[in-house]
Amino acid sequence: MVAAYIGLGSNLHGPQEQLRTAITAIERMPETRLKRYSSLYQSPPMGGLQQPDYINAVAELETTLEPQQLLQQLQSIETEHGRIRGERWGARTLDLDLLVYGTDVINTADLKVPHPGLHERSFVLYPLHEIAPDLEIPGLGRVTELLENCSPDGLKRI
C-alpha cells in the first residue's frame, strides 16, 4: 500500500459539484481506498488567462495501483467529467493531478511526481496542509515548512 495525494481543481460547469462527484469517482477506483480529503478552497486563476475562479481540494488515498495505472484512472475520471484537453493554462471542468506517490520521484514525459510547482501553489499547499501537515514531499521538504514560504494569494476556504 502506498499513500498518494491527488489535487482536484475545476472552474467550469458547477465547480463545487464537479469536485464532489470526482471524490465519489475516486472512492470507486479499484485497489484504492480514499482516506481523507480537504475542505474546498476558492482562488483566482493562476497563469494569467482571464477565466473564472477555481475551486480546489486535495485527497489522500491508499493504493496498490502503480503510478501509471493511477494516472490512467484519474484521466478517465477527468474524461467522464467532460474534460477537453485544450489550452495549456485554460479553464477546465476537472483537473486531477497526482501530487505525491509515497516517496517516489518520477520524471517521465507524461508523469512528473512530486508535481512540479506544488510548493509554489497555495491552492495545493493549503489544502494539503489541512489533511497532512507533516507529510514529507520527496525532494521538497515538509508541508508545514513549504507553507511558510507560500503566500495565500487570495485563497479562501469555503
Distance of CA 78 to the CA centre of its chain: 12
Which residues are catalytic, by number?
83, 92, 95, 97
C-alpha–C-alpha distance, residues 54 and 50, integer Å: 12
Cα torsion 100, 102, 107, 109 to 10°: value is -60
Closer residue to ligand ROI, CB minimum distance, 40 or 132: 40
Closer residue to ligand ROI, CB minimum distance, 133 or 154: 154
Residue number of the CB closest to ligand ROI reads 9
C-alpha–C-alpha distance, residues 153 and 11, integer Å: 17
User: Mask of contacts with ligand ROI, 23-62, x by CB under 6 A?
Assistant: --------------------x-xxx------x-x------
Smallest gap, in angstroms, from Cβ of residue 47 to ligand ROI? 4
Beta strands in 26-94 (DSSP E): 32-37, 41-43, 54-63
Q: Which of residues 80-99 bind ligand ROI (CB under 6 A)?
A: 89, 95
Smallest gap, in angstroms, from Cβ of residue 86 to ligand ROI? 11
Residue 69 C-alpha cell reads as 495505472
Closer residue to ligand ROI, CB minimum distance, 40 or 135: 40
C-alpha–C-alpha distance, residues 37 and 16, integer Å: 14
User: Mask of contacts with ligand ROI, 102-141, x by CB under 6 A?
Assistant: ---------------------x------------------
25-39 b/e (C-beta count within 10 Å ≥ 16 → b): bbeebeebebeebbe
Give me the residues that bind ligand ROI (CB under 6 A), please: 9, 43, 45-47, 54, 56, 89, 95, 123
